[in-house]
Structure 1
């Protein structure tokens, strides 16, 4: 079966990075994190602390993992209303994991802070499907296989070995994939869109077929056959879980693939149209413009200037 999750994350150009390792040897402290373009993650290596946003206060302890998919501004503090000792902007690029330290007494709290970034044109395909906060306790991390990755990240961050920063980035990538697996595995977590569809074996069959063969002339009947369902039952279930009708999803996936192919000047618009199931470049151009508001040629000319295209 085609791996839909892997393909979507590849298209999104997932890139994990560890921004800093923080040691706080004092009480009555808070770290302020500005709004970030990517998804922020925090791992508590030692001690306890709180996540504080405008709407939430969550107590964190050793081994906990916290992700803010929308990059919401927030504080990590030893208690609510503690004075701020640092203002951290995770949007800044760093060549290596920064080491930050405050105080020299006890209690001691250690944190790893990082960011998951995605291609700005496609990031809505994952960010819009996730809640503002994803919290994984140490016990859940052990249950879903996250603890091994977290332990490896902490061990690497605490060392000073060759290849440290490259390995931290790769481990962060692996962490996000495992987080998605864990999120899907827990039936208490709400999911929708293509993520929600991956929870249903029948709809997963249809999604796998679409992703494996975007060039085929898909109809609702053909997709229903792949899912081993009647046409009406399949259409209703797909629309309910994914949020759009089956053929709308087919079109949107084709358009996402097209934006990637358009980056390669060696592939003509005619060839792209054929690869994603259009009989002519004219039909493809019309579909592309309906989806994005501009033609494939306009997109290709302006690819270097990503700022003019919407992030979400």
Structure 2
């Protein structure tokens, strides 16, 4: 897969869910912090997003708000409206829900959803995102994102059809990728830094794709530089300057991230996990894994690793301020 898809897949932890929300008059909801991400899409009317520690963000029809780290936030018809706690979602196994507040007054209708993401080992591509991403509606902009929103809205309608649970889950996955794509693609070139700049650089992207597609290969700086079409020295400097790690340091980080996913998500024997992540022996793999996670692979697989905080963030991604401005139209 490509780097963005891999980054999201590596963090996915559980099934996403969404609801069609319809509110009347004066209203305000407080959403508690959760280990994941959330979004709101405005279908009718307007409201204000109230992030923790940030200024209110007005949302109009067609606007998308995405919170990569759900630190808790409010949503209300006006910034001064009193907020009430969100009602916990009924865990009935379905990804589809509804929320209504009937009564007089203006109507605000939204699509709201949440993703369960592993915030322990965050890919740096996602770690550098601002706490709030606001993508205003623009005619002719982000047609794929708009198409996904329209399809999701249909699935979350009053009468879900056969297969709606599966369709909704798939559409939520697509929507997340389109939101992230819209954010990165819409950054002006002079504002693209870190991973935003890396994804725009064909040479760095070529090396990243090679690492992600074939983590088991015995990559060297020279062989990755050949993929990038640069000299060894020029490539090493360019890669580290944009990714924030040397090529081989990132290779190790991605191998260990892949190994952790295989250990927790499959029954593959340790030898196979080692082979798939570029280690010739089970011993060499176990040594590298323990250095990264602070525990042996077997204990990690069995959930006996204790607190996941150890070596949780071997890659330090820069985190922007609490609220980002609108995506350039």
Report the TM-score range of the alignment, normalised by the length of the smaller protein: 0.7 to 0.9
1:178 counterpart residue number: 178
SS in 1 for 2:256: helix
The 5 Å alignment of 1:143-292 reads 143-162=142-161, 163-188=163-188, 190=192, 192-193=194-195, 196-263=197-264, 266-292=267-293
How far apart, in 2, do the equivalents of 1:128 and 1:141 lie? Answer: 29
Q: 1:69 to 1:92 in 2, by over 3 A?
A: farther
Q: 1:253 to 1:25 in 2, by over 3 A?
A: same
Greater relative CO, 1 or 2 (CA 8 Å, sep 6+): 2
SS in 1 for 2:115: strand
Deviations 1:169-227 (A, max 9, x none): 2211110111122122123365534x642221101111111112212221111111110
Q: 2:134 matched to 1:132?
A: no
Give 1:140 deviation, angstroms: 6.9
Unaligned ranges ≥5, structure 1: none
How far apart, in 1, do the equivalents of 2:20 and 2:295 lie? Answer: 43
How large is the Cα RMSD of the aligned pairs?
A: 2.6
1:301 counterpart residue number: 302
8 Å Cα contact 1:18-1:115 kept in structure 2: yes
Deviations 1:130-172 (A, max 9, x none): 2101111111784352111111222222231323333222211
Which range moved further: 184-193 or 173-182?
184-193
How far apart, in 1, do the equivalents of 2:13 and 2:300 lie? Answer: 22
2:41 counterpart residue number: 43
SS in 2 for 1:270: helix
8 Å Cα contact 2:286-2:296 kept in structure 1: yes
The 5 Å alignment of 1:37-116 reads 37-53=35-51, 54-84=53-83, 86-88=84-86, 93-96=91-94, 97-116=96-115
SS in 2 for 1:138: coil
Deviations 1:87-139 (A, max 9, x none): 11667635443322223223111122110222455445554132101111111
SS in 2 for 1:139: coil
Deviations 1:56-77 (A, max 9, x none): 2111111111011110211111
Under a length normalisation based on structure 2, what TM-score does the superposition of the two structures give? 0.83
Give 1:281 deviation, angstroms: 2.0
Q: 1:279 to 1:18 in 2, by over 3 A?
A: closer
Q: 1:61 to 1:307 in 2, by over 3 A?
A: farther
